[in-house]
Copies of this chain bind each other. A is one copy, B any other.
Amino acid sequence: MSRLAPISGFPEYLPAQRAVEKRVLAILESTFELHGFASVETRAVEPISQLARKGEIDKEIYLVRRLHGDHGAEVAGDDLGLHFDLTVPFARYVVENAGRLLFPFRRYQIQKAWRGERPQEGRYREFTQADIDIVGHSALAPHHDTEVALVMVEALERLHRDLGLPPILMHANHRALVQGFYSGIGVADTLAAVQAVDKIAKIGPDGVTAMLTAQGLDEGQIAQILALASVESDGAGLAEAIGRLGIDNDDLTRGVAELTGLVEAVAAEFPGRITPDLRISRGLDYYTGAVFEIELTGMAGFPMVAGGGRYDALATDGKTTYPGVGLSFGVTRTLAPLLGRGLYTTSRPVPSAVLVAVTSEETRSQADAAASALRRRGIACEVAPAADKFGKQIKFADRRGIPFVWFIGEDGEQTVKDIRTGEQVAADPAAWEPPEVDRTVQVIRADERK
């Protein structure tokens, strides 16, 4: 068997790492469902014409073709490609199924996506995204912007609280606020200015100044734009801080009110987890209201782990427009580096809480029966693969991190041994319970293992 090296950009996990990921996904799903979001999955492929519509990531698209047989022409006259995010396929799904969905439609979607980009830490060619979106039919009230922010922050807060992942900080901006402000100071191409300011973290104020100058803006306008970008405030102080810049514009007023409401609502439930950030815009042209980016705090050099916002035309079929608001959390982007650095593991790499020992192959069926009795009450267990001495069986369990070994004596008497403490007690497989913490696999932070 040749070619067994990992393929760069296509991460794979060992069982313990995968168990951490499964716990993360379960927390995301249960949070999304508690808020009424329904699960949707879309096919992995879309027609290339759909994928390439936005033009930006053309060269990262993976084309899918049959190795032999009819090359191309998978759908009449069109090739297929792997989706590079979950927004494009979801927009298509909404329009395709609009008559069978109930609006506003809340969905979450946790799936892999693929991008043929040059791999580096935090960038993957195959990666799992967890998206939530709320989509309206023709209209969608602004309070849904607050709703998706609250749901995603709650989900990520649970990852912090329950699994010990680093806490997050949501940066929130509002396109109407920023573009209204720019209009108010006489900027014609407000989108171009937004896209320049979005680069401020990378290129600094001087770089942004150069870009804005090249766009024909004067010194006074640029000073105002940089003043807005450097506003630091919580939700409550936002209106006053922006008001001091002395610009009057209807979109600005509406944007300030919406962003203030959103930030205050999230901060009320999750203090310290959200901040207005008037610099971010996620570059793209389709956001029209709230814009979100989420960072993992205390992780220097880590990329943003989630982003999203409001788009007034997520999808359209020509007649009806479907406005939406959503957030996309990069599961692989977050976990793969944390797991790769060995920061998280599990209490054991197998689900089994109990190893049922086998003393001779003739009595294996007794061991099987004990295991069945335990499983009927939801206790994961496995039966020893080979009859062996007690010491070897304990060693087998120990190597796997299985905390309990179940023994059946020659007289049929059953006992269970906690191999961590050595305590061994008589036990009935139809009644014995492990401590709750041992029932399921626990996620453990590396610094807690010491």
Contacts and interface: CB of A to CB of B under 8 A. Distances in A.
Interface of A, helix, strand, loop or mixed by DSSP = mixed
Interface stretch (A11-19, A191-199, A212-220): A11-19
Interface in A30-89: 33-45, 47-50, 52, 58-69, 74-75, 78, 80-82
A423 B143 CA distance: 30
A10 interface: yes
Nearest to A116: B66
Contacts of A63: 64-67
A322 to B, nearest CB: 10
A95 interface: yes
A352 interface: yes
Given A1-B317, A39-B22, A380-B33, A100 B65 contact: no
A95 B1 contact: yes
Contacts of A349: 38, 102
A104 interface: yes
Interface stretch (A106-114, A224-232, A235-243, A301-309): A106-114
A53 to B, nearest CB: 8
B68 A35 contact: no
Contact of A126 (B33, B45, B101, B315): B45
A67 B75 contact: no
A316 interface: yes
A282 B318 CA distance: 50
Given A4-B92, A64-B62, A69-B59, A400 B102 contact: yes
Contact of A399 (B13, B96, B102, B378): B102
Interface residues of A, number: 96
A66 B365 CA distance: 54
A160 interface: no
* Interface-centre pick from A34, A66, A269 (highest chain B CB count, 10 A): A34
A34 B65 contact: no
Contacts of A316: 1
Contacts of A37: 351
Contacts of A15: 38-40, 101, 107
Contact of A7 (B45, B126, B400): B45
A350 B106 contact: yes
Interface stretch (A165-173, A200-208, A245-253, A381-389): A381-389
Contacts of A361: 143
A58 B66 CA distance: 9
20 contacts: A1-B95, A1-B317, A4-B95, A5-B96, A7-B43, A7-B75, A13-B40, A15-B39, A18-B41, A34-B379, A43-B126, A44-B44, A58-B67, A59-B69, A61-B67, A63-B65, A64-B114, A69-B116, A141-B386, A147-B383
